[in-house]
Amino acid sequence: MATVNEKEARRLMQQLLDGELQGVEAAQARVLVEAHPELAAELNAHQALQQALSGLRGADPAAGFEDRLLQRIAAEPPGLGERVLATLRRMLMPVTLATAAAAAVMLTVGAPNTSSTMARDVAAAGLLQRSAPTPVTLRLRASDAQWGAIRAALNGAGLVAPELPARQGAVWSAELNGTTEQLNAAVNALGAQLPVEVQGSVPTTGDAPVRVRVVLTGM
């Protein structure tokens, strides 16, 4: 069998790690690299690392990300709301140019702050589709090591949980957005596995929005 020196084998190893070789080429290169035990071990370690890193893909922000973002944009100073205002203008402009001009004069002369107020109103009416969520805290007697199972239960109930909880000192927690119905399902699912304490006034309407803070209090 043909062999290559270590320098060439290292070059092939880098190409394998870079994904530059495929199929038969990759298989042949691998054989040549494996003739050098140290390089073979290095290749295996790096490929295992690559596989593990690819497993970190796909973290999701907490549910309601778009709503929070749009709420923030709407709350920014008027300059940021200009595009929203432009949309409003287009919606309100099936009128004659003269009427539009008159309206513009009124806006400019009669009420200098109207445009920014309107932008905020439009943002509130058009962008924010939900009322403010009710804050609820779920205190779980569990450690962060149990997060995988807890997350699975939360996700199963429809509350999208982050891959990892956030840590503040000794406390691990996560903020989720959802509805009362999803919260109830989560409490039922979690309650079957571990002690759960619900703090806060849970709305009675099933589709009422809730902001759930999950706190792990430790074992």
Partner 1 sequence: MTTAAATLPAVSRATPPVDVDAELASRAATGDTAAFRELVTRYRRRVYSVALRMLGDAQEAEDLSQDVFVTLFKSLAGFRGESRLSTWIYRVTRNHCLNRIKYLNRRGRQAMVAVGEEGRDVLGELAAPEPSPGRVVLAAEGARRLQAALQTLPPEQRLLVVLREVEQLSYEEMVEATGLPVGTIKSRLHRARAALVEQLPEFKGMDGWQR
Q: Should residue 28 be labelled a site residue for partner 1 when binding is judged by CB under 8 A?
A: no
Minimum CB–partner distance for residue 117 and partner 1 (Å)? 18
* Nearest partner of 178 among 140, 138, 124, judged by Cα: 138
* 106: number of Cβ within 10 Å: 11
- Inter-residue contact 216 to 149 (CB < 8 Å): no
Q: Should residue 26 be labelled a site residue for partner 1 when binding is judged by CB under 8 A?
A: yes
Minimum CB–partner distance for residue 67 and partner 1 (Å)? 9
Minimum CB–partner distance for residue 172 and partner 1 (Å)? 9
Cross-strand partners of 196:
140
- Inter-residue contact 119 to 92 (CB < 8 Å): no
| Residue 110 token pair | 């009669």
Among 92-100, 105-113, 123-131, 199-207, the segment contacting partner 1 (CB under 8 A): 123-131
Nearer to partner 1, 194 or 202 (CB): 194
* Nearest partner of 32 among 47, 20, 51, 14, judged by Cα: 14
Binding map of partner 1 across residues 125-164, x = CB under 8 A, - = no contact = -xx-x--------------xxxxxx-xx---------xxx
Site for partner 1 in 179-218 (CB under 8 A): none
